[in-house]
Chains A and B, each alone.
Chain A
Amino acid sequence: MNFDFSDDQKQLRDQMRRYLTDRCPSSAVRAILEGPEPYDRELYKGLGEMGFLGAAIPEEYGGVGLGHLELCVLAEELGRVNAPVPVDSSIFVAAEFLLAAGSEAQKQVWLPKLASGEAVGTYAQAEGAGRVTAKSIKASVSGGKLSGVKVPVADGDSADLAIVAARAGGDERSISLYLVDLNGPGVSRETVENIDPTRSQAKITFDGAPAELLGESGQGLRIAADVLDRAAVLTAFLQVGGSDRALEMARDYALERMAFGRQIASFQAIKHMLADMYVAATLARSNAYYGAWALSTNSSELPVAAATARVSAIQAFQHCAKNNIQVHGGMGFTWAFDCHLFYRRANNLALSLGSQTTWEDLLIERMRRRNDAAA
């Protein structure tokens, strides 16, 4: 049994860590937090040049063709540093949509640009509050023109390409996916302030924007479910990386900070809080490995494994991020300390692919189906 990453994959992780230590220090994250740029373009371009963005994209589409396990270890490192880049929208989601359902021409046009970082893609599904269902989607396409309003769309203010879930010809039972060039006509967009300013969110209004069908008509939500499973595993590695880093910050601070004449790390209240953070992070890591295995082997277990990885990763990152602030006390609630960056990112990622309760529901539904299939 070898339920672990290979030595080559671990070397890639080390290489990525060194790269990000140099290129994505806290000051780079803060530049996005406080500045006008939607994401760190220099860093993103660098990740493309290094071949990191194209790790799981085949060579014929401009990628490196390594595989998804490699993308998982890269994701973990990006998560550790709260990298302010649209890798999840563009690589974990949009590129996976193209790989899963794109025509040869669509893949040829877009994948090389996504792999190099020259273009950014995103998935536009939500139209306001609540779970995304066939009913909640009102945007609609007729005669190849898309109209409707999507909000929030991650990286929607800077993305070049959107994959949009919309009704085909106004039929609410028939949701299809469309490729829309966001730099083309009929698209207006605005940045909307959000809880994690190191990652931007937008409102996009489509008014007769040219839209090209992606995948089979009427199969939009089925395709999306498969792709979001893949993205859920990759995103879980961002969260696992963030969880570990938040735990390390809390531990380091607890060892350094003196109160009542002792290191606060010597108080059981603090020790037990840190132990519980370790427990959550460990469970999430093991579940993420399960997801990585299912993703990389195209296992029929993927729907269960992805939902498991996602729920566990949401819990762990939220738990570690909030208690990192708690261990820091008042200092943890200052703008100057990085604790809030992790807290913001944890709560952003908890929602980005659908909420925890949505995935809890999916998990049990899928376990039930697996059970029925086995019976």
Chain B
Amino acid sequence: MNFDDTPEEAAFRAEARAWLDANAPKHLEAELKQSTFGNMGLKSEDPIAAAKAWQKKKQQAGWACLHWPKEYGGRGATPIERVIWGQEEGAYATLGGLFTIGHGMCGPTLMAWASEEHKRKLLPPMASGDEVWCQLFSEPAGGSDLAGLRTRAEQAKDGSGDWIINGQKIWTSGAQNSDYGILITRTDPNVPKHKGLTMFWLSMKSPGVEIRPIKQANGQSGFNEVYFTDVRIPDDQRLGAVGQGWTVSLTTLMNERLSIGSGMPTGFPELFDYCMELELEDGPAIDNPMVRSRLAQYAVKASGLKYTGMRAISALSKGETPGPENSIGKLVAGASMQELAMFALDLQGQAGVLLDPKHAEAASRFQAMLLRSPATRVEGGTDEILRNIIAERVLGLPGDVRVDKDVPFKDIPTSGRSA
């Protein structure tokens, strides 16, 4: 039992480190390290331009999309090499947030389902950051129950084979910065819900696409609503067969849970540092038994997640598939951070209410966590969906009774209130 690199891993790490040392945007390092959860973004430079510049530089040197094949702009690296790169890239990786959805989900979906011609056309500019992608899945009526989505795709009556899209998506991360998206639609409302779906890719500049930022509960706008009004998509941009959209979406969602679930922040290091500095009426907060007890609760969760990750990395290092342990990541981190933020504010007393960083404690980092953390427990699978996944896929418990399973989509009730 050890944390040592194999000789191959050590060589790869040294190569990555040397390249980063010579090429990373070091003038941004301090600022990137200070950005905290729920309070991201560069102030000194345009974050989009900085992100694109870093991505381009990486791609030209062969350090972008490590897990992708070389012919599509990646490196063809092993899973363990991808992990090592992530460890070495460190704070600079936060610049890559703009590309997370594209590289983690859209790219793998295209690789599995697009034509070879389209893969060669679309993937390299995605890898280099020249083109940004988003995923158009969730809808007002289709969140956890994604297959309940209502955006319609109907074949054009002009014989062109094109599809005409009408409907609305919601919670689309980064749509306002995206050039392309992958879109799941309903093509047949007369069959049960999972069977009538079809997936496409499209240009976000297509006529009839309208993007409206959502003002979130925390005041920021990272997500969007996207409206489709008679948007035309050629049939060759279809991913998978007509009616096969659910299967295609699973490719994407499996990748979503993998990428969002790894290395989630818990806020513990920040809280520990804060308690080292904070003076309570009877001395340093870190010496207070109640504070210590609470800190210990968060410490063992943060540690447990860290070493659960190490176990998964060890499996990768041996060329094995990691076990299901990593499925606990977001479930633990999300709820833990929310509780931790409330506790940090409680320690601040009445001043915990202040958000203005000029007046607030710890540059209002815990207030930012408080206001952002509800979203963590929802996005990429709610806590409840994640528990279902653990129960069903890890523990082997039965799936839910699905009352709408064999019902044509158009006959599924849409309101809980009786008429």
Contacts and interface: CB of A to CB of B under 8 A. Distances in A.
A276 B310 CA distance: 21
Nearest to B326: A282
B305 interface: yes
A349 interface: no
A315 interface: yes
A266, A279, A365 pick with most chain B CB within 10 angstroms: A279
A191 interface: no
A368 B274 CA distance: 12
B407 interface: no
B304 A282 contact: yes
Contacts of B272: 367, 371
B400 A290 contact: no
Contact of A279 (B328, B398, B400): B328
B307 A364 contact: no
Contacts of B387: 268, 271-272, 275-276
A22 interface: no
Interface in B264-319: 272, 276, 286, 289, 291-293, 295-297, 299-301, 303-308, 310-311, 313-315, 317-318
B304 A4 contact: no
A344 B80 CA distance: 42
Interface band, chain A: 35 or more
Contact of A272 (B5, B304, B391): B391
A251 B398 CA distance: 11
A293 B1 CA distance: 6
A286 B390 contact: no
Nearest to B394: A278
A286 B297 CA distance: 15
A255 B397 CA distance: 7
Given A271-B388, A308-B303, A1 B395 contact: no
A263 B388 CA distance: 15
A268 B313 contact: no
Interface residues of B, number: 52
B291, B300, B313 pick with most chain A CB within 10 angstroms: B300
A360 interface: yes
Given A279-B331, A308-B299, A286 B304 contact: yes
B395 A275 contact: yes
Contacts, number: 161
Interface string A350-375: 00000001011101110110010000
B332 interface: yes
User: Looking at chain A's contact residues, is the secondary structure mostly helix, strand, loop, or mixed?
Assistant: helix
B391 A271 contact: yes
Interface in A227-285: 247, 251, 254-255, 262-263, 265-266, 268, 270-272, 274-276, 278-279, 282-284
Nearest to A290: B307
B392 interface: yes
B290 to A, nearest CB: 10
B304 A266 contact: no
Nearest to B289: A361
A5 B314 CA distance: 10
B398 A368 contact: no
Contacts of B158: none
B61 interface: no
Given A4-B314, A283-B304, A308-B299, A371 B276 contact: yes
A311 interface: yes
Interface of B: 1-5, 9, 80, 272, 276, 286, 289, 291-293, 295-297, 299-301, 303-308, 310-311, 313-315, 317-318, 325, 328, 331-332, 384, 386-388, 390-392, 394-401
Interface of A: 1-6, 69, 247, 251, 254-255, 262-263, 265-266, 268, 270-272, 274-276, 278-279, 282-284, 286-287, 289-290, 292-293, 296-297, 307-308, 311-312, 315, 357, 359-361, 363-365, 367-368, 371
Given A279-B328, A360-B295, 18 more contacts: A1-B4, A1-B314, A247-B395, A251-B397, A268-B388, A271-B397, A272-B387, A274-B395, A275-B386, A282-B304, A283-B304, A284-B304, A286-B306, A308-B303, A312-B303, A360-B296, A364-B292, A368-B276
